Structure formats: structure tokens, C-alpha cells
Structure 1
Amino acid sequence: MTRATEAATFFGITAAIYFALLFQWLPITLPKTVQEFTLPVLPWWALVTFGAYSLGNIGYHVLTFRDCPEAYVELQTQISQAQNDLRSKGVTI
């Protein structure tokens, strides 16, 4: 099963349970405050929570961004090779 299939299955099952609870299709008695005030705003709460997590995750990874000294050395070598190749062809740099 691919990752997309797993995600679609998870969200489908979650949505089915949510709608079953919201429209009282299941024989579960929920307190009136949960039925009237909590369940209708649950998707928005999940969306805001996911957004906050995403921004925090991106911020953390930008904060702990690691430099790559090996890539820097390799890039400098490639630049000098390109300059030497252009000089051999008569291009002034």
C-alpha cells in the first residue's frame, strides 16, 4: 500500500466516523455540549493544529539548517574547472 493510499484510507475512515458522530448515526449518546459545540468546530481545530505544527516544523528546520562543507569544496572545484575551460577557449573572465 502506498503512502497516498494509507493517507486516503485514514482520512476516509476519520471523516466517516466524524460524520456518523455529527449526524448521530451511531447509537452513542454524547453530552449535549459535545454534540452542539465541540463536534461542529472539530475540523477547524484540526486544520489550525496542523497549520501550527507545519509552521513550527518548518521554523525548526530552518533554524537548525546544516551547512555542507563538502558541497562547498566541490562547488569551488567545479567553478575553477569551468573558469579554466573558458580561459582555454579564449573567453576572458
Structure 2
Amino acid sequence: MTRATSILLYTVPLTILYFLFLLGVVSVPLISTQAADEILPVIPWVFLVTFGAYSLGSLGWGLVTFRDCPEAYRELMMEITQAKDDLRSKGVSVDT
């Protein structure tokens, strides 16, 4: 099973259940109706902010540990040097 399939396998039923709770078709167990009416509309924003924080954190961690991958570091530095040499051969100043 691919990663996308497993994600869909979990998100589709949870989304359906969320909308059933949000529209009041099914009552939320262990929570009063008033509390559910206040909490349910903001749940997508909580997930969005959580996903954004996770994405930025993993991106930042990848930047912090980038030098831990010496092959990738050397490859990137070589590509930067090649790009600078190519631009210099076309008359662009890159050492400013």
C-alpha cells in the first residue's frame, strides 16, 4: 500500500465523521452540545497550524543537519560552482 493510499484510508473516514459531528447528525460523545458547537468549527485550523509547524520544523531540521550528509553537501557545492562558472562565461558578475 502506498503512502497516499494509507493517508486517504485514514483521512476520508475521519473527514466524514467530522462533518457528521459538525452538522449535528451525530452527537459528540462525552462533550456537551454547547462545547461541541464552539470546538468543532476550529478543528481544521488546528490541524492546519499543526501541519504548518511540523513542515517548518522538519524543513529547519533538514537545514540544520545538512552538513551531516557530506555527499549531498559536496554535490550542492559543485553545482553552485558550475552555475557560477556558467554565469561568468556569459558575462554576469556573481562575486559581488
TM-score, length of structure 1 as denominator length: 0.64
The 3-state SS of whatever aligns with 1:25 is coil
For residues 40-79 of structure 1, what are the structure 2 equivalents within 5 Å?
Answer: 40-65=41-66, 66-68=68-70, 72=74
Larger Rg over CA atoms: 1
Name the amino acid aligned to 2:17.
I
Count of residues in correspondence between the two structures: 73
Where do 5+ consecutive residues of structure 2 fail to align?
79-96
Name the amino acid aligned to 1:49.
T
Which of structure 1's runs of 4+ aligned residues deviate more than 3 A?
A: 27-30
Higher relative contact order (CA 8 A, sep 6+): 1
Corresponding residue of 2:35: 34
TM-score, length of structure 2 as denominator length: 0.63
CA RMSD, aligned part only? Answer: 2.5
Structure 2 CA distance, aligned partners of 1:27 and 1:67?
51
